[in-house]
Amino acid sequence: MIDFDEMINRHLTTEHRPKQVGRYYPSEIGTCIRKIWYSYKYPQEIKADLLKVFHLGNMMHDFVAEVLKSEKNPDVELLKTELPLKLEVDDLVISGRVDDLLLLKTQGKNILVEVKSAKTVKFQTEPSRHHVMQLQLYMHATNVHTGIILYLDKTTLESKVFTIHYNEKMVNDILNRFKSLHTLLKCNELPKAEAKTDTETSWMCRFCEYRDKCDRNEG
């Protein structure tokens, strides 16, 4: 018999490359700084279940791009998909290929579209803060100062859209987070466990692969 689950796991498996201190990624900075710090100091293979989640997100992104390119939607023009991003800040680099980002033109105006898949959008009344932080960084890097976060229901394809405008103060705060992370990594200093000390982010701890280390303040 064919074990298709195992076939998917093998198909999605990628070569694991430890992160390099001094090179950072836009998608992480809205999460817990301690978790990011651990991912540099104690790198782990990405679990198969998480790889599947990432791949499903990419599939949803491709579907949104297909919809935006459709001749049935002539009021929008899809300009780019999977935008590369690189920012040099002091002695660190923020870089990556942004798989969930699209650039479109509508009513003569360029707009960044960040696509996020969700179990349900029924109760999504506002965008997640870490998604807003990502989009703010992308707007800063591309100089496109209007964006939307598009949540797409994995089951029904129902969507929720939130318009985000560029916020210079938030961008500066984000860049300072990168600088702080960089300093803590170079000094080998364990960051505070910010996720567990904030009721709005404590849910992250339930899914964190470094939870045991964090509870022991290991590092």
Assigned domain for 110 exists: yes
Backbone φ and ψ for 124, nearest 5 degrees, come out as -80, 95
Assigned domain for 180 exists: yes
Average pLDDT over residues 117-121: 92
The total domain count for the chain is 1
**pTM for this prediction:** 0.88
Percent with pLDDT over 90 in the chain: 62
CA distances from 184 to 93, 149, 177 (A): 16, 31, 11
Q: pLDDT band at residue 143, thresholds of 50, 70 and 90?
A: very high
Structural contact between residues 153 and 121, judged by C-beta atoms closer than 8 angstroms: yes
Determine the distance from the C-alpha atom of residue 43 to the mean position of all C-alpha atoms in its chain, rounded to a whole number.
18
CA distances from 198 to 75, 169, 174, 192 (A): 42, 21, 18, 12
Indicate the range of 15-24, 46-55, 121-130 predicted with least confidence.
46-55
Assigned domain for 28 exists: no
Distance CA 171, CA 136 (A): 6
Judged by DSSP in three states, 198 sits in coil
How confident is the model at residue 98, as a pLDDT? Answer: 76
CATH of the domain at 153: 3.90.320.10
How confident is the model at residue 30, as a pLDDT? Answer: 87
How confident is the model at residue 15, as a pLDDT? Answer: 67
Percent with pLDDT over 70 in the chain: 99
Assigned domain for 202 exists: no
CA angle 120, 123, 126 (to 5 degrees): 110
154-181 residue pLDDT tens: 999 999 999 999 999 999 999 999 999 9
Q: pLDDT band at residue 44, thresholds of 50, 70 and 90?
A: confident
Is beta strand 109-118 parallel, antiparallel or unpaired with respect to 23-24?
unpaired
Name the residue among 116, 107, 89, 84 with its Cα closest to residue 172: 89
* Residue 100 pLDDT greater than 80, yes or no: no
* Residue 24 pLDDT greater than 70, yes or no: yes
Assigned domain for 27 exists: no
Name the residue among 81, 72, 125, 86 with its Cα closest to residue 104: 81
How confident is the model at residue 16, as a pLDDT? Answer: 67
The range of the structural domain enclosing residue 133 comes to 34-186+207-213
185-201 residue pLDDT tens: 999 999 999 988 888 78
Assigned domain for 199 exists: no
**DSSP symbol at 189:** -
Residue type, 8: I
User: In whole numbers, what is the pLDDT of the chain averaged over residues?
Assistant: 90
Assigned domain for 18 exists: no
Assigned domain for 58 exists: yes
Structural contact between residues 150 and 113, judged by C-beta atoms closer than 8 angstroms: yes
